[in-house]
Amino acid sequence: MKILVLNGPNLQLLGRRKVEVYGVVPLHEIEARLRVVASELGVELSFMQSNHEGVIVDAIAQALADGVDGLVINPAAYTHTSVAIRDAIEGVRLPAVEIHLSNIHAREGFRHDSLTAPVCIGQIAGLGADGYEWALRALVRYINNKTTKAQG
Ligand code: DQA
């Protein structure tokens, strides 16, 4: 099973950016932790981070072409604005779990709405860097359950 972990704008600054909100764990450390979980689960991971909406849209389309089975995505600020990323997730019809380090529902009003969550199987928010692990585990279980059902 292949999973793509996608991170949107400014997440390359994790560990330095608003640490009281996003925590001290840098993105490369999150990726290292996910690799450990992935090897436990026996899944293959790839990572990408971009500050550009179109690059993220292209990466979602490419995921389908590359035979990726599911997405873990933190669209960051694009969560609240990007019809294009929402349409891309919906368009490829790959299961996706949306993850946010912070609890977007407890923050400024403009962060309460997610344009992308409705086309994801679920959303994890507010659990900090650990949320990436829960997102990956939830996604892999979802895909496994679906595959088992389809075979049975
Ligand atoms: C974020 C929440 C977004 O509102 C914000 O723009 C981010 C990070 C999070 O992980 O908590 O950049 O997606």
From the CA of 102, give the closest atom in ligand 1: 11
CA of 57 to the centre of ligand 1 (A): 18
Q: Output the pLDDT for position 148.
A: 86
Q: What percentage of the chain reaches a pLDDT higher than 70?
A: 99
Task: Extract the residue ranges of the chain whose pLDDT is less than 50.
Answer: none
Q: How far out from the chain centre does Cα 125 lie?
A: 11
Does any ligand 1 atom lie closer than 6 A to the CB of residue 104? yes
Q: What is the per-residue burial (b if ≥16 Cβ within 10 Å, else e) of 123-146?
A: bbbebbbebbbbbbebbbebbeee
Which pLDDT score, from 0 to 100, does residue 136 have?
A: 98
Closest ligand 1 atom, CA of 99? 10
**Per-residue pLDDT, 149:** 84
CA nearest neighbour of 2 among 89, 95, 133: 95
CB atoms within 10 A of CB 114: 20
Whether 100 is catalytic: yes
Query: For ligand 1, what atom is nearest to the CA of residue 10?
Result: 12
Q: For ligand 1, atom 8, which residue shows the shortest CA distance?
A: 76
Q: Is the CB of 74 under 6 A from ligand 1?
A: yes
Q: Is 140's C-beta closer than 6 angstroms to any atom of ligand 1?
A: no
pTM of the model: 0.97
pLDDT tens per residue across span 121-150: 999 999 999 999 999 999 999 999 998 888
Kindly state the tokens that stand for 98.
Answer: 């949306």
Catalytic residue among 78, 100, 105, 132: 100
Residue 70: per-residue pLDDT: 98
Question: Are 37 and 136 a contacting pair, CB within 8 Å?
Answer: yes
**What is the reported pLDDT for 147?**
85
